[in-house]
Structure 1
Amino acid sequence: MGKVLMKGNEVIGESAIKAGCHYFFGYPITPQSELVAYMAKRLPEVGGLFLQAESEVSAINMVYGAASAGVRVMTSSSSPGFSLKQEGISFLAAANLPAVIVNIARGGPGLGNIQPAQSDYFQVTKGGGHGDYYTPVLAPSTLQEIVDLTQEAFRIADQYRTPVILLGDGVLGQMMEPVEFKETSEEMHLFEKDWATTGTVGDGPPKTITSLDLNDVSLEERNRKLQEKYETIKDQEVRVESYKMDDAIYGIVAYGTVARIVKSAVDRAREAGMKVGLIRPISLWPFPSSYIRKLSEQLQLNKLLTVEMSAGQMVEDVRLSVEGIVPVHFYGRNGGVIPTVDEIYQEILKLKYGVMV
């Protein structure tokens, strides 16, 4: 099929369906409500199940039940609602259950507003809920990339038996761009799930899935296996884009919507003769720490600048990545304010000259 013009939230829904997700449990909250509405319309058309839960807490626990049965399942929310899902996400991680959770982030803290923000970074990359766990986090910057990363999210979830987070914001959720949905084969949907609670029909002992383990020794062993899985994910699932970094002296680190704006600022700086480029983490966890460190050393970068729609969250991972070998500066807007190309360009000038020009 050719390209079609769609809204970001709807692109997520259609991409999930094409990835074999026929079960969705959610609750409307701006700016992701169109995703809920889209799944309500489309899932019955493909023989799937849509259910609007009475709350975000109910929705994530319904996901737990569906994932236990071995089906591909998804839920979505925006920042305050995503916070309510944290206990359930911890349960999913502990029980080794695959699921995809979408967060179309908005300005906070608290109820905040419905404008775009990136201030959920800590929550999605540092566990979010209780206990020692992580969730892979994918952060698209275009609607076409949403198509690809939504399908990847389901693949990662099934392959590693883990919840996966697709992180966007109010811009990506509400904007419209032409996208092309690739034909998917049945093979991409096939992962053996002999652990699923689909019944044994007398062929063996009943299958149980739980995150409860009252024996401290066996719980520690469960945690050890989880950490081994996370190490494998860190080794295999890092994603990062480099833009005009081949001869760069200065590097900017940004993700998602902000990375789109940074690219325009980088182009403007290049036209002015400044050797600057962009490093765009696509997987926020696992974070491309080794890549950023190695690139900084190889290019002998003078400075790095991290730009975010937050008061400064990803910048901490950037600083940990380079371990002091490169000065890391920060520029952020929050509360739903989007940085402009000119603002970022002025920050690039500060990197070179130390003052605005």
Structure 2
Amino acid sequence: MGKVLMKGNEVIAEAAVHAGCKYFFGYPITPQSELVAYMARRLPEVGGLFLQAESEVAAINMVYGAAGTGVRVMTSSSSPGFSLKQEGISYLVGAELPALIVNVVRGGPGLGNIQPAQSDYFQVTKGGGHGDYHTPVLAPSTLQEIIDLTEAAFDIADRYRTPVILLGDGMLGQMMEPVEFKELSERKPEQKEWATTGTRGDGKPRIISSLELNADALEKRNELLQKKFTMIKQNEVRFETFETEDADYIVTAYGTAARIAMNAINKARKDGLKIGMIRPITLWPFPEQPFIATRDRVKGYLSVEMSAGQMVEDVRLAVEGKAPVSFFGRTGGVVPTQEEIYDQIIQLAGGVEV
């Protein structure tokens, strides 16, 4: 098909179409409005349906209805709008319905601004709605990776009957890079025995609900969900490492922050410092393995985030106090620079030998 120059938000949308998604319900909010606009034009071309809902609350409940029929469906928003979807996301988990939910994060709290941030980490990884639940979270760092992870997100959603979150930020959503898509082929919709498409008298009625008034029965449902979450943790962890084998210090970052941190790490390597990187790709389940593999021999970790410090808590849990964990972050939509991260690395390592 060849490479094309596209904006990140549009890449997410086209990747979803290539993954077989033909249904989108959403509401425009900067910095992801181009995704909504792209879907409005694109889905009718492939026989799909686009609907701009009257609110984010309405959109996520429309997703619930479409997911119940077994189709591949998605919605997208940015931080304040994503907050409004939390009740619906909890409903989707409780009813075991697959869907893709995109959050292109912007500065907060409150309405904040429209600049890129990573301050929704707690919200997406800890379960922002009510109840004991998790949602798988995939965090790409390049537009090409968005293509792969969007398809993976739909596959994970169907495999485990769960909503999946694709987490980006305003910079990833707005930047342009050359990307390459596979040829678009007609996907045959998967037949899902649980979907509410009618039994035509050949079986019991299919009922989808998260309501269970009996406490013992609800506890059993929760136990089944927890078993599912355990399976996801065992099978779906994704991460990338760089030069960790001989590293004295390891930087950890995801998404846009990881791209910038990599430049700082390369500069530190040229200056003779043994610095590595662990880049989580799944934020939940969090990739504990590379930290467990390195924590007994490295001198320390540095968590770099576009937040006041959120992922750093999961890093510390994985390290279990066996090495010091430092933090550097910028907030409010301010993006850390390569120079700032490099200075933090130098400070952590105690300087460069001249």
TM-score by length of 1: 0.97
Percent identity over the alignment is: 71
What corresponds to 1:287 in structure 2?
A: 286
Mapped partners of 1:322, 1:143: distance in 2: 30
Mapped partners of 1:173, 1:73: distance in 2: 20
SS of aligned partner of 1:141: coil
Q: CA deviation at 1:184?
A: 6.2
Name which of 338, 342, 346 aligns with 2:339: 342
Q: CA deviation at 1:34?
A: 0.2
What corresponds to 1:216 in structure 2?
A: 215
CA contact (8 A) 1:158 1:191 kept: no
Structure 1 residues 217 and 186, CA, compared in 2 at 3 Å: closer, same or farther?
farther
Mapped partners of 1:232, 1:303: distance in 2: 31
User: CA RMSD of the aligned region, Å?
Assistant: 1.4
Structure 1 residues 183 and 295, CA, compared in 2 at 3 Å: closer, same or farther?
farther
What corresponds to 1:232 in structure 2?
A: 231
CA contact (8 A) 1:242 1:280 kept: yes
Mapped partners of 2:197, 2:327: distance in 1: 50
Q: CA deviation at 1:239?
A: 0.3
SS of aligned partner of 1:110: coil
List runs of 5+ in structure 1 lacking aligned partners: none
Mapped partners of 2:41, 2:184: distance in 1: 21
Mapped partners of 1:211, 1:55: distance in 2: 22
Superposed CA deviations along residues 251-300 of structure 1, whole A, max 9, x for unmatched, are 00100000000000000000100000111000000000132122223xx0
Mapped partners of 2:122, 2:25: distance in 1: 25
CA contact (8 A) 1:76 1:103 kept: yes
Superposed CA deviations along residues 39-82 of structure 1, whole A, max 9, x for unmatched, are 00000010000000000000000000000000000000000000
What corresponds to 1:74 in structure 2?
A: 74
Residue identity in the other structure for 2:347:
K
Mapped partners of 2:168, 2:153: distance in 1: 13
SS of aligned partner of 1:348: helix
Structure 1 residues 197 and 7, CA, compared in 2 at 3 Å: closer, same or farther?
same
Residue identity in the other structure for 1:324:
G
Mapped partners of 1:239, 1:207: distance in 2: 34
CA contact (8 A) 2:278 2:290 kept: no
SS of aligned partner of 2:134: coil
What corresponds to 2:134 in structure 1?
A: 134
What corresponds to 1:160 in structure 2?
A: 160
CA contact (8 A) 2:307 2:330 kept: yes
Q: CA deviation at 1:243?
A: 1.2
Q: CA deviation at 1:203?
A: 1.1
CA contact (8 A) 1:159 1:191 kept: no
Mapped partners of 2:34, 2:120: distance in 1: 20
1:41-80 aligned at under 5 Å gives the runs 41-80=41-80
1:98-113 aligned at under 5 Å gives the runs 98-113=98-113
Structure 1 residues 252 and 221, CA, compared in 2 at 3 Å: closer, same or farther?
same
Size of the alignment, in residue pairs?
353
Q: CA deviation at 1:192?
A: 4.1
What corresponds to 2:327 in structure 1?
A: 330
Mapped partners of 1:205, 1:74: distance in 2: 28
CA contact (8 A) 1:140 1:146 kept: yes
TM-score by length of 2: 0.98
Superposed CA deviations along residues 216-272 of structure 1, whole A, max 9, x for unmatched, are 111111000000000000000000000122211000010000000000000000010
What corresponds to 2:251 in structure 1?
A: 252
CA contact (8 A) 2:232 2:285 kept: yes
SS of aligned partner of 1:93: helix
CA contact (8 A) 2:71 2:189 kept: no
What corresponds to 1:272 in structure 2?
A: 271
Superposed CA deviations along residues 179-215 of structure 1, whole A, max 9, x for unmatched, are 011246667x664410000011111221110000001
SS of aligned partner of 2:198: coil
Mapped partners of 1:295, 1:9: distance in 2: 36
Mapped partners of 1:215, 1:99: distance in 2: 27
What corresponds to 1:14 in structure 2?
A: 14
